[in-house]
Amino acid sequence: MSPKFNPAQLNLQAFAAMSGHLDGRCDRATDGAEIDKTFARLAAESCVPHGLAHVTWHAQAELRDAVGAEPQVWVHLDVSAALPMICQRCMTPALVDVSSQHWFRFVADEATAEVEDDTSDEDVLVLTPRYDLLALVEDELLMSVPLVPMHENCPVPVLTQVADKDFVDEPVERVHPFADLKLKMQSSEG
Ligand SMILES: [Zn+2]
């Protein structure tokens, strides 16, 4: 019998020692408002109230030998979520897929984590006895939220073509930017 692991208070050392896997999904359709409680910071990024549709994650842990040290805990995390955000092309809500896949290595203390994080491809974190894996899932998703969210295909007509047409139609004289500045200064003086 494998022990039951609680992702919010995970004994990572034991989890890694048995090469544990954990899958989770929090879905508004089945779990209701629970998703807003469990992932409150991510839910706050939604452009509509109670919009975060689901959070899905898969964690896989292992112990790896380390040179001159105890074997280290490594965790691979694969996370995804569906979050309504305002599309920056058509300015209507878009259900944006947010996802991330990452390796994490766990070390004994903050000082080691800071030094080794800078020189490692994987993220280096501090091992705590009861690790909150759900908070890490949420951190990962928050860092993966796009800065400029967009629909793949906008559901409404977008006006960029009109703007482009105006731009092309207008006779443009090539003026050196500083010459332009000089002209502007003269016109504001006069
Ligand atoms: Zn759009």
Q: What does the domain layout of the chain look like in residue ranges?
A: 7-153
Tell me, what's the pLDDT at 190? 43
* pLDDT-derived band at 68, boundaries 50, 70, 90: confident
Q: What separation in Å is there between the alpha carbon of 50 and the centre of ligand 1?
A: 20
CB count within 10 Å of CB 104 equals: 19
- Identify which of 140, 103, 107 has the alpha carbon closest to the alpha carbon of residue 126: 107
44 CA → ligand 1 middle, Å = 21
80-84, 108-112, 156-160: the lowest-pLDDT one: 156-160
pLDDT, greater one: 70 or 74: 74
Distance in Å, CA 145 to ligand 1 centroid? 16
Mean pLDDT of all residues in 133-160: 93
Identify the pLDDT of residue 169. 46
Span 141-154, average pLDDT: 96
Task: Give the pLDDT score at 170.
Answer: 46
49 residue type, one letter: P
Provide the strand spans (E) within 87-154. Answer: 93-107, 123-126
The CA 114 to ligand 1 mean position distance, Å, reads 40
Long-range contacts of 88-91 (CB under 8 A, 24+ apart): 88/148, 88/149, 88/150, 89/150, 89/151, 89/154, 89/158, 89/160, 90/151, 90/154, 90/155, 90/156, 90/157, 90/158
> Which amino acid is residue 173, in one-letter code?
E
pLDDT of residue 2: 52
Question: b vs e for 148-158, b when ≥16 Cβ sit within 10 Å of the residue's Cβ?
Answer: ebebeeeeeee
- Angle among Cα 85, 7, 42 to the nearest 5 degrees reads 15
Dig out the tokens for 32 from the structure. Answer: 């209701």
* Between 31 and 183, the higher pLDDT residue: 31
What is the predicted pLDDT for the residue at 185? 52
**Stretch 23-38: mean pLDDT, rounded?**
96
49 Cα to the center of ligand 1, angstroms:
19
Q: 97 C-alpha vs ligand 1 centroid, how far in Å?
A: 14
Q: What is the pTM of this model?
A: 0.80
**More confidently predicted of 175 and 61:** 61
Cα gap 60→7, rounded to integer Å: 12
Neighbours of ion ligand 1 (CB under 5 A): 87, 89-90, 151, 154
Quick check: 97 and 52 in contact, CB under 8 A? no
How far away, in angstroms, is 188 Cα from ligand 1 center? 40
The per-residue pLDDT for 188 is 53
The closest alpha carbon to 24, from 55, 50, 52, belongs to: 55
Give dist(CA 131, CA 105) in Å, integer.
13
